[in-house]
Amino acid sequence: MGENKKKILISTGSFKLMADISRMLNADYDMVKAIDGAQTIRALSDKTNRIDCLIIDLALPNTNIFQIMNLMHKNTSMKYIPVIVLAEKLENEDIENCFDSMAADILMTPVNPNKLLFSIKRCLKEKQETKILEAKVNIIKSQANEEDTPKPSEENVRDSKSQESSDEHKEIKYDDLSETDKKRLHEEDISDLQHAYIYMIGTVAEFRGLSKNHIKRVREITAIICDSLISYFPESHLTKEIAVNIADASCLHDIGKILIPDEIMMKPTKLTDSEFDMVKSHTTKGCEILEALREFQTDEMYHYSYEICRYHHERYDGKGYPEKLIGESIPLSAQIVSIVDAFDALMTNTAYRKAIDFDTAYSMILDGECGVFSPRITQCFKMNKDKIAEISRLYADPYA
């Protein structure tokens, strides 16, 4: 077996499916095979295997695959292994179970070779990005522990020098800092992590059929709207510092879509009601992701990213989701991003719809075809048409 090849565990009781997948992957990956749940768990538990990705058949004999997936998430050595579920047919309950068990993807059988190879590539990319993020987190934790734990040698040096030095020359330790300064240093430490985190989400989004340029455009147009609110609507109580945080946090508005299976995200036809409900759940699922990474964000970034993620599909007249908030009960940050996201989504290619040109999309927003937005934010959107057009041109999606 090739030493540099990633290792894929294939779990299915169908010998034909096993043979088909093996032929598809033979040139690019090493494979481990299992024909039931017991063999699957043994292969995952074998530390010499170092499984990089699990492809598992929904119809695996005598097995509830969701129990295996939930077991994996509770195990430190398995929780980051992406799982691709294969299914000959899929009921709504199966989709929900896959979603709840955090399946990385769902593919229908017979398997399309190109779809399978793309899905594996994407899953491995996401796994690598997660490892990079975790490594940065561990570095920051380690640095924080070092700051909180005085080194004996340094302590001895300090004590000896204190006998010869005046009070004004004493070494300043971390514990001597004010709470304000400690908070400032902590926020500086995690600033780099936040930027890496935002970049990672953009990269992952690109692999999920979303446009990375959409994320860039949303951020830049959000900043433009914020500037106008500051200049023309002081009653909004928006400051330049808050505006920067809102613009940065806007990059995470669709983070929850990472958890939506590709069979739904990439579906070229109209979604069923159940499938659309699952897509709408990206607002609340995204908040769960943000909550899981809570300690690695500044208070401000967490606050605004949570507001935006949860409420950017609310509408001013109460006809949005997930909570049908009305008017100013919608957080200002989400009000801003809601109009920007709705507008830019019209100009973004999706699996089921071609992008619309700038002028048509712009008119649709002002004509209320995408819902009702805050009057003052709509006014800011209207007065910045030229700037918004320039951003749309600079970060335009490549069209096929």
Last residue of a domain, one of 111, 146, 164: 111
**pTM of the predicted model, to two decimals?**
0.58
pLDDT reported for residue 15: 92
Q: What average pLDDT does this structure show over 173-181? A: 51
| Whether residue 91 is found in the same domain as residue 189 | no
| Whether residue 102 is found in the same domain as residue 186 | no
Q: Any bridge partners for residue 85, and if so which?
A: 56, 106
Q: What average pLDDT does this structure show over 283-294? A: 87
pLDDT reported for residue 352: 75
> What is the rounded end-to-end Cα distance, in angstroms, of the chain?
38
| Whether residue 102 is found in the same domain as residue 233 | no
At 1, the pLDDT band (50, 70, 90 cuts) reads: very low
Q: Mind listing the pLDDT tens digit for each residue in 341-379?
A: 999 999 987 777 788 999 999 999 999 999 999 999 999
Q: Mind listing the pLDDT tens digit for each residue in 308-350?
A: 999 999 999 999 999 999 999 999 999 999 999 999 999 987 7
pLDDT reported for residue 135: 62
Angle between helix 15-25 and helix 113-148 axes, rounded to 10 deg: 70
| Whether residue 85 is found in the same domain as residue 233 | no
* Residue 135, domain member (yes or no): no
Residues 100 and 38: their CA atoms lie apart, in Å, by: 22
* Residue 138, domain member (yes or no): no
* Residue 304, domain member (yes or no): yes
* Residue 238, domain member (yes or no): yes
Consecutive H or E run containing 34: strand 30-34
* Residue 313, domain member (yes or no): yes
| Whether residue 289 is found in the same domain as residue 377 | yes
| Whether residue 382 is found in the same domain as residue 267 | yes
* Residue 229, domain member (yes or no): yes
Q: Mind listing the pLDDT tens digit for each residue in 377-395?
A: 999 999 999 999 999 988 8
- In this structure, the dihedral spanned by the alpha carbons of residues 365, 369, 370 and 373, taken in order and rounded to 10 degrees, is 60
Residue, of 168 and 398, whose pLDDT is higher: 398
| Whether residue 321 is found in the same domain as residue 202 | yes
At 204, the pLDDT band (50, 70, 90 cuts) reads: low
pLDDT reported for residue 2: 46
| Whether residue 59 is found in the same domain as residue 199 | no
Tell me the backbone φ, ψ of residue 77, rounded to 5 degrees.
Answer: -80, -10
Cα separation values, 256 from 13, 26, 74, 240, 334, Å = 33, 33, 21, 28, 15
Provide the edge-to-edge strand list for the sheet that holds 53-57. Answer: 30-34, 7-11, 53-57, 83-87, 105-108
| Whether residue 107 is found in the same domain as residue 228 | no
Q: Mind listing the pLDDT tens digit for each residue in 61-114?
A: 988 999 999 889 888 888 889 999 999 988 878 888 887 788 888 899 999 998
Q: Mind listing the pLDDT tens digit for each residue in 134-173?
A: 665 565 556 555 555 554 455 544 454 444 444 433 443 4
**Structure tokens of 166?**
């005046």
Q: What average pLDDT does this structure show over 111-128? A: 87
* Residue 292, domain member (yes or no): yes
Q: Which stretch of 28-32, 47-51, 166-170, 208-212 has the lowest confidence by average pLDDT?
A: 166-170
Residue, of 295 and 236, whose pLDDT is higher: 236
Q: What average pLDDT does this structure show over 250-276? A: 86
Among the listed residues 35, 38, 42, 32, the one whose alpha carbon sits nearest the alpha carbon of residue 59: 35
Last residue of a domain, one of 111, 135, 162: 111
Q: Which stretch of 31-40, 50-59, 151-160, 236-245 has the lowest confidence by average pLDDT?
A: 151-160
Burial of 318 (0-12, 13-18, 19+ CB in 10 A): middle
Residues 269 and 389: their CA atoms lie apart, in Å, by: 30
Tell me the backbone φ, ψ of residue 345, rounded to 5 degrees.
Answer: -60, -35
pLDDT reported for residue 334: 98
Tell me the backbone φ, ψ of residue 85, rounded to 5 degrees.
Answer: -95, 130
pLDDT > 70: what percent of the chain? 78
Q: Indicate which CATH number applies to the domain containing 81.
A: 3.40.50.2300
Last residue of a domain, one of 89, 111, 133: 111
| Whether residue 64 is found in the same domain as residue 204 | no
Residues 348 and 58: their CA atoms lie apart, in Å, by: 33
Residues 387 and 238: their CA atoms lie apart, in Å, by: 20
Q: What average pLDDT does this structure show over 260-274? A: 85
Q: Indicate which CATH number applies to the domain containing 338.
A: 1.10.3210.10
Number of domains present in the structure of the chain:
2
| Whether residue 192 is found in the same domain as residue 77 | no
Q: Which range of residues forms the domain containing residue 50?
A: 7-111
Q: Which amino acid is it at 123?
A: C
Q: Which amino acid is it at 32?
A: V
| Whether residue 224 is found in the same domain as residue 317 | yes
* Residue 212, domain member (yes or no): yes
pLDDT averaged over the chain?
82
Q: Does pLDDT of 174 surpass 60? A: no
Instruction: Enumerate the H helices of the chain as residue ranges.
Output: 15-25, 37-45, 65-74, 92-100, 113-148, 152-162, 179-207, 212-232, 240-249, 262-265, 273-280, 282-292, 299-311, 332-346, 358-366, 375-383, 385-394
